A and B are shown apart, each in its own frame.
Chain A
Amino acid sequence: MERSVVFSGFGGQGLLFTGQVIARAAIKDGLEVFWIPSYGPEMRGGTASCTVIVADHPIGSPVVDQFDAAVAMNLPSLRKFGPCVAPGGLLIVNSSLVISQTSARGDIVELRLPCTELAAKGGDDKLVSIVALGALVARLGWVTPESVRAALREISAKKRPEIIDADLGVFAAGFDAGRVGVAA
Chain B
Amino acid sequence: MTDTLEVGGGGRPKSSEEEAKRRARVLMKGNDAVAEAAIQAGCDAYFGYPITPQAELLEWMARRMPELGRVFVQAESELGAINMALGAAATGARVLVSSSSPGISLMAEAMSYMAGSGTPMVLINVMRAGPGLGGIGPSQSDYFQATKGHGHGDYRVPVLAPASIGEAMDLTVDAFELAERYRTPVMVVFDGILGQAMEPVELRFRNPARRTFDWALTGAAGRPARVIKSIDLVPEVLEKRNIALQRKYAEISRHEVRWATESMEDAEYVLVAYGTAARVARSAIEKARAKGIKAGLFRPITLWPFPSRELARVARHAHAILTVELSSGQMVEDVRLAVEGRCPVGFHGRMGGLVPTPDEVVGALKALHGKVERTREHEREEQRKRQHASAAAPAERTHRAEADAPARGHALANAPAGRRDGGER
Contacts and interface: CB of A to CB of B under 8 A. Distances in A.
Establish whether A and B are touching in the complex (CB under 8 Å).
yes
Interface string B330-370: 00000000000000000000000001111100000000000
Contact of B276 (A23, A41, A62, A151): A62
B8 A154 contact: yes
A150 interface: yes
Interface stretch (A31-39, A71-79, A85-93, A110-118): A31-39
Interface string B14-29: 1000100110011100
B199 interface: yes
A37 B30 CA distance: 12
Given A39-B136, A61-B279, A63-B355, A33 B3 contact: no
B198 A23 contact: yes
Given A35-B199, A60-B280, A158-B3, A65 B359 contact: yes
A41 B11 contact: no
Interface in B176-219: 192-193, 196-200
Contact of B8 (A32, A153, A159): A153
A11 to B, nearest CB: 16
Contacts of B282: 58, 60-61
B53 interface: yes
Interface residues of A, number: 36
A53 to B, nearest CB: 10
Interface residues of B, number: 40
A147 B7 CA distance: 12
B9 interface: yes
A27 B165 CA distance: 15
A158 B8 CA distance: 12
B283 interface: yes
A149 to B, nearest CB: 7
- Select the residue from A32, A58, A60 with max chain B CB neighbours within 10 A: A60
A27 B3 contact: no
A45 interface: no
A144 B276 CA distance: 29
A61 B359 CA distance: 10
Given A29-B11, A41-B136, A159 B3 contact: yes
- Select the residue from B11, B12, B21, B22 with max chain A CB neighbours within 10 A: B11
Contacts of B286: 60
B12 A30 contact: yes
Contact of A28 (B10, B53, B135, B198): B10
A39 B54 CA distance: 11
A120 interface: no
A82 to B, nearest CB: 19
B6 interface: yes
A40 B52 CA distance: 7
Nearest to B55: A39
A155 interface: yes
B21 A35 contact: no
Contacts of A159: 3
A128 to B, nearest CB: 22
A35 B195 CA distance: 11
B135 to A, nearest CB: 8
B8 A151 contact: yes
A97 B138 CA distance: 32
Contacts of B27: 20, 23-24, 27, 33, 35
A167 to B, nearest CB: 14
B199 A34 contact: yes
A107 interface: no
Interface string A137-156: 00000001011011101110
Contact of A150 (B9, B137, B192, B196): B9
Given A32-B200, A63-B280, A155-B3, A25 B136 contact: no
A136 B137 CA distance: 29
Contacts of A61: 279-280, 282-284, 355, 357-358
Contacts of B6: 154, 158
Contacts of B356: 63
B12 A35 contact: no
Contact of B197 (A24, A25, A29, A35): A35
A119 B334 CA distance: 56
B192 A27 contact: no
A63 B196 CA distance: 13
A28 B24 CA distance: 10
Interface in B286-319: 286
A36 B363 CA distance: 25
A146 B193 contact: no
Contacts of B283: 60-61
Interface of A: 20, 23-25, 27-30, 32-37, 39-41, 58-65, 144, 146-147, 149-151, 153-155, 158-159
21 contacts: A20-B198, A23-B27, A27-B27, A27-B200, A28-B10, A28-B12, A29-B11, A30-B18, A32-B200, A36-B197, A59-B199, A61-B279, A61-B282, A62-B197, A62-B279, A63-B357, A144-B11, A149-B10, A150-B11, A154-B6, A154-B8
Given A41-B136, A63-B356, A147-B12, 7 more contacts: A27-B27, A30-B21, A37-B197, A39-B53, A61-B355, A144-B11, A146-B11
5 A-B pairs with least C-beta separation: A150-B10, A60-B283, A28-B11, A158-B3, A60-B282
Interface of B: 3, 6, 8-12, 14, 18, 21-22, 25-27, 52-53, 135-137, 164, 192-193, 196-200, 276, 279-284, 286, 355-359
